[in-house]
Amino acid sequence: MEDADAQRQIDQMVAFIINEAKDKAAEIEAKSQEDFNVEKLKALQSMKEKIRQNYRKKAKDLETNRAIAQSAAINKARLKKIAARQMKINDAVKTASKSLQELGKDQSKYSRLCCELIVQCMLRLMEPHVLVRIRKQDENVVTNDILKAAQQKYSAILENAGIKGQTVKAELDKEFYLPPAPASNADDASAAASCTGGVVVTSADRKIKCDNTFDSRLQLVVQQKLPEIRKVLYEN
């Protein structure tokens, strides 16, 4: 009997140990599953956050690129508009320049105009001796008689202003001439290197000069009257 009781106790102890082991294994398995689920959830949350961040970055980049493209398009349109407006001004200047060239065809009017331009330069320079620079083709128009008339008019203007006895000696500059008139088919570069008419008057040593060519006068008018010119051109 004693052996049977001992065996039974042993069996009970073994069964208890086995049950304890099973419970412990189940507990470990449950804990492992719980840890796995927690880590899995963390990984999913981290992945979702990365996806959200990536989406936000792409959305921000897309918005930035859209803004850059829009700004570039607006700037391109603005530059195109400015270029078109400048072209209108350039065309108007070319038209005015051609009209000024026509003045040279009437020698009588052109000589009187050159006389007035010379007097203006004399009054600006107030030099006792001046050189008048003209185009080579204008030598038969701006003659010594024109220079004498300019000298007399200069003295008369000063005398009327209360300055008496002020005279000036004017002579043509035979060393330097203004560029010739532009050819009818001249391109912009050739036209820029030409002269539509008028005069340049310098001091005797050529250190001081007054540019009264048609080209310089036209550019001066364009600069001074640019707002009015734009208004007329752009409204039309």
Residue 6, CB half-sphere, CA atoms under 13 Å: how many? 3
188 lies in a domain?
A: no
* pLDDT of 179 over the 60 cut: yes
From 49, 84, 105, the end of a domain falls on: 105
Q: Say if pTM beats, i.e. exceeds, 0.75.
A: no
The answer to whether residues 20 and 82 belong to one domain is yes
The answer to whether residues 157 and 128 belong to one domain is yes
Question: What are the percentages of helix, strand and coil residues in the chain, rounded to 5?
Answer: 70, 10, 20
pLDDT digits (tens, 9 = 90+) for 163-175: 988 999 999 999 9
Domain range holding 200? 106-182+194-233
From 80, 105, 130, the end of a domain falls on: 105
The answer to whether residues 64 and 8 belong to one domain is yes
* pLDDT of 236 over the 60 cut: no
What distance in Å separates the CA atoms of residue 128 and residue 168, rounded to the nearest whole number? 5
Phi/psi class of residue 206: alpha, beta or left (left: φ > 0; alpha: ψ in -120 to 50)?
left
Cα 195-201-206 angle, rounded to 5 deg: 110
176 lies in a domain?
A: yes
Q: Which SS3 state, helix, strand or coil, does residue 109 take? A: helix
Per DSSP, the residues of 50-97 read HHHHHHHHHHHHHHHHHHHHHHHHHHHHHHHHHHHHHHHHHHHHHHHH
Q: What percent of the chain shows pLDDT beyond 70?
A: 94
pLDDT digits (tens, 9 = 90+) for 120-134: 999 999 999 999 999
Quote the mean pLDDT of the chain. 86
pLDDT digits (tens, 9 = 90+) for 53-111: 888 888 888 889 999 999 999 999 888 888 887 787 777 778 877 888 888 888 999 99
Contact between 180 and 195 (Cβ < 8 Å): yes
pLDDT band (50, 70, 90) for residue 216: very high
* pLDDT of 1 over the 60 cut: no
212 lies in a domain?
A: yes
The answer to whether residues 47 and 120 belong to one domain is no
pLDDT band (50, 70, 90) for residue 229: confident
8 lies in a domain?
A: yes
Total domains present in the chain? 2
The answer to whether residues 100 and 112 belong to one domain is no
- What are phi and psi for residue 105, nearest 5 degrees? -75, -25
116 lies in a domain?
A: yes
187 lies in a domain?
A: no
Supply the pLDDT for residue 47.
Answer: 85
The two tokens of residue 146 are 């024109």
The answer to whether residues 73 and 59 belong to one domain is yes
89 lies in a domain?
A: yes
What distance in Å separates the CA atoms of residue 146 and residue 128, rounded to the nearest whole number? 17
52 lies in a domain?
A: yes
What's the CATH number where 154 sits?
A: 3.30.2320.30
Q: How many CB atoms lie within 10 A of CB 21?
A: 10
* pLDDT of 44 over the 90 cut: no
Supply the pLDDT for residue 189.
Answer: 59
68-82, 137-151, 154-168, 222-236, range with the lowest pLDDT: 222-236
- Which residues on adjacent β-strands are paired with residue 131? 171, 202
Residues 6 or more apart in contact with residue 202 via CB below 8 angstroms:
125, 130, 131, 133, 173, 208, 209, 210
The answer to whether residues 54 and 73 belong to one domain is yes
